[in-house]
Amino acid sequence: MNYRLVFSSIIIAVGLLALGLCLRSGLKSFNDSQRTVEVRGLSTREVPANHVTWPIVFKLVGNDLPQVYTNVSATNDTIVRFLRDNGIDPKDISVSAPQMTDLSADRYNNQPIPFNYSVTSVVTVSSSEVTKVHDLINRQGELMKRGIPIATDYANPIKYDYTDLNSIKPEMIAEATKNAREAAEKFASDSQSKIGKIKYARQGQFTIEDRDTYTPYIKEVRVVTTLVYFLED
């Protein structure tokens, strides 16, 4: 009997068995390390707007351009006086340069026109006194009673803003992270596992939107945090 050959075969067999056990153990470890769960946590807040921009737009027409500009100037003075009399700080009021349109220069309009000129003016209130300005917006009909033709101008909408996001960011991020972890723990419990270390984390963008179309002065702030946890047995 060739004992050297038998001995060599035994060594090779033992080596292959050991290699197989190592590969099996390594593969199990690799698979376990790749068991993950991805969860998202949401945090929302309703906050009052802390700044308002109110453009008061009106248009006057006429055939005598200097007279139209005189009327525009007088109307601007009336609006500014109304605002100041109702407690708006003068530094929060601005008057834009009037914009003139020569209606008679419209080469594509063959119909007769009653007026040659249209002049648009904008008086803007930009203030942190949101409640006071909002109340005045609801009273702008008083200006119309004085003969001021306030126009709806989609290019100059009323805007309510919330500018103090940094004051609530940390708390909202903590809440979103907590909600994400709770979701991961619930998933792990249902799958008879437990969560391990965080593999990946991503904080979404903060969004600030109107709560609804009827209360644009109430804002909804939202943030979503995404977490990926390793799962363990």
Task: Produce one character per residue of 102-112: b if its CB has 16 or more CB atoms within 10 Å, e if not.
Answer: eeeeeeeeeee
How far, in Å, CA of 47 to CA of 215, rounded?
12
Q: What pTM did the predictor assign? A: 0.77
Return the H-helix or E-strand segment holding 104. Answer: none
H or E segment and range at residue 52: strand 51-62
Put residue 205 in one of left, alpha, beta given phi > 0 → left and psi -120 to 50 → alpha: beta
**Cβ(173)–Cβ(43) under 8 Å?**
yes
Top CATH class, 33-49+162-233: alpha beta
What stretch(es) of the chain map to CATH 3.30.110.170? Answer: 33-49+162-233
Query: What is the CATH T-level fold of the domain 51-160, as seen in this structure?
Result: Alpha-Beta Plaits (3.30.70)
What is the pLDDT at residue 159? Answer: 97
Average confidence score pLDDT of the chain: 87
Give CA separation, 155 vs 27, 59, 159, 218, in Å.
63, 14, 11, 22
156 — phi, psi (to 5°)?
-130, 70
Token code pair at residue 56: 């008061």
Residue whose pair of structure tokens reads 């033992």 in the numeric block:
14
DSSP H helices in the chain? 3-33, 65-85, 130-137, 141-145, 169-190
* Model pLDDT, residue 112: 76
What pLDDT score was predicted for residue 47?
98
Share of the chain above pLDDT 90, in %: 73
Write the pLDDT tens digit of every residue in 24-74: 433 333 345 578 999 999 999 999 999 999 999 999 999 999 999 999 999
Residue ranges, comma separated, of all CATH 3.30.70.2970 domains in the chain are 51-160
d(CA 218, CA 162): 9
Q: Tokens 């002065």 correspond to what residue?
A: 217
pLDDT at 155: 87
State the average pLDDT over residues 132-144.
96
pLDDT of residue 120: 96
Residues 137 and 53: their CA atoms lie apart, in Å, by 11
